[in-house]
Homo-oligomer: A and B are copies of this chain.
């Protein structure tokens, strides 16, 4: 029986750049105040995309993940992106 092909997972974290209005975070800050959940100084949000690749080496998976970021997942004008390998 052939060994199952190894998979590579890349976790992509997309955040807003500092200075870009994070409307969701502002709304959460306001809501936490209304709920009486105090001591919150700041809220920031981020989006995680976890891409699992099959039948590729990790370097190629990372290249594909960067292509996905550039062409689909992030806007370089407003987003800061970090990639790192995730545990399969």
- Point out residues on A near B: beta carbons under 8 Å: 7, 13, 25, 28, 31-32, 35, 37-56, 60-61, 64, 67-68, 71-73
Copies of the chain in the assembly: 2
Shortest Cβ gap from A53 to chain B (Å): 5
Whether B39 pairs with A71 at a CB distance below 8 angstroms is no
Task: Considering the complex, give the chain B residue whose CB is closest to the CB of A32.
Answer: B68
* Ranked 9 nearest A-B pairs via Cβ: A46-B48, A42-B52, A41-B54, A44-B50, A41-B52, A39-B53, A39-B56, A37-B68, A37-B64
**With the chains together, A50 CA to B13 CA distance in Å?**
13
Shortest Cβ gap from A45 to chain B (Å): 6
21 A-B pairs (CB sep. < 8 Å): A32-B68, A32-B72, A35-B68, A39-B54, A39-B61, A39-B64, A40-B51, A40-B53, A40-B64, A41-B53, A43-B49, A43-B50, A43-B51, A43-B52, A44-B49, A44-B52, A45-B47, A45-B49, A45-B50, A46-B48, A46-B50
